Chains A and B, each alone.
Chain A
């Protein structure tokens, strides 16, 4: 079965640079979630989109922005990168407004800021 696809899988950036992470949800899933997971930490909810509209917002820094496109893929844009932004970034997808309890995660993008 098709899973959530994230690209790139690994990304190395320098401080103050910009990064764009992409997420392709499971076919027919209309909701996308973004999480940040630091080393040894639990996934922290950043933001979610349902039907191309922002549906909920968590601890996402103002330097980050995200959107969901007409084909339901989503992009997380990160500017003015800081060393502390180094983490695994997961995207998850689900179906429908009540699907938050059944999220399917992608393999993650490992971002390293040097």
Chain B
């Protein structure tokens, strides 16, 4: 079993829809939870990170972490065709731990 599980999709939604992307994990030592966006043949781009449990909002993006359930989510409001990409969750233990574990990535298609 992988440390981080993420449904690879693909997920197809109409423009303007609310998108929900999720990951589960097994290592309770993870403290930092990140979401990256990756366009085809490009490097991952950091969208946002959250420390421990709670919510964080940045524009149309909201990240949620529920450590008790070992479950994290990324919500995208008013989705746009330009949001079409692969979204990767990633986690690390934080201080003293540089190793970052990525999920498999979810391919998202937003149709105009």
B101 is an interface residue with CB less than 8 A from chain A: yes
Q: Which of A66-74, A75-83, A100-108 contacts the other chain?
A: A100-108
CB < 8 Å: which of B43, B96, B102 contacts A106?
A: B43
User: A101-B49, A105-B43 are contacts. A45–B94 as well, Cβ < 8 Å?
Assistant: no
CA–CA, A55 and B42, complex, Å: 26
CB distance from A80 to the nearest CB of B (A): 25
B17 is an interface residue with CB less than 8 A from chain A: no
A24 is an interface residue with CB less than 8 A from chain B: no
Residues 30-86 of B contacting A (Cβ, < 8 Å): 32, 34, 36, 41-46, 49, 51
Q: Which residues of B contact A (CB under 8 A)?
A: 6, 32, 34, 36, 41-46, 49, 51, 88, 92, 94-105
- Size bracket of the A interface: 20 to 34
A105 touches B98 (CB 8 A): no
The 3 lowest CB-CB distance pairs between A and B, nearest first, are: A105-B43, A101-B32, A56-B98
Give 18 pairs: A residue, B residue, CB < 8 Å, sorted on A: A31-B98, A33-B98, A33-B100, A42-B6, A42-B105, A45-B101, A55-B98, A90-B43, A90-B44, A101-B32, A102-B49, A103-B100, A104-B46, A105-B44, A105-B45, A107-B43, A108-B42, A110-B41
A97 is an interface residue with CB less than 8 A from chain B: yes
CB distance from A22 to the nearest CB of B (A): 15
Q: Chain B residues with Cβ under 8 A from A101's Cβ?
A: 32, 34, 49, 51, 92, 94
Q: Chain B residues with Cβ under 8 A from A88's Cβ?
A: 41
A100 touches B32 (CB 8 A): yes
Q: Chain A residues with Cβ under 8 A from B46's Cβ?
A: 102-105
CB distance from B24 to the nearest CB of A (A): 14
Residues 28-42 of A contacting B (Cβ, < 8 Å): 31, 33, 41-42
B42 touches A107 (CB 8 A): yes
CB distance from B105 to the nearest CB of A (A): 6
**Which of A33, A41, A101, A106 has the largest count of B CB atoms less than 10 A from its CB?**
A101
CA–CA, A102 and B32, complex, Å: 10
User: A33-B98, A58-B99, A98-B95 are contacts. A42–B43 as well, Cβ < 8 Å?
Assistant: no
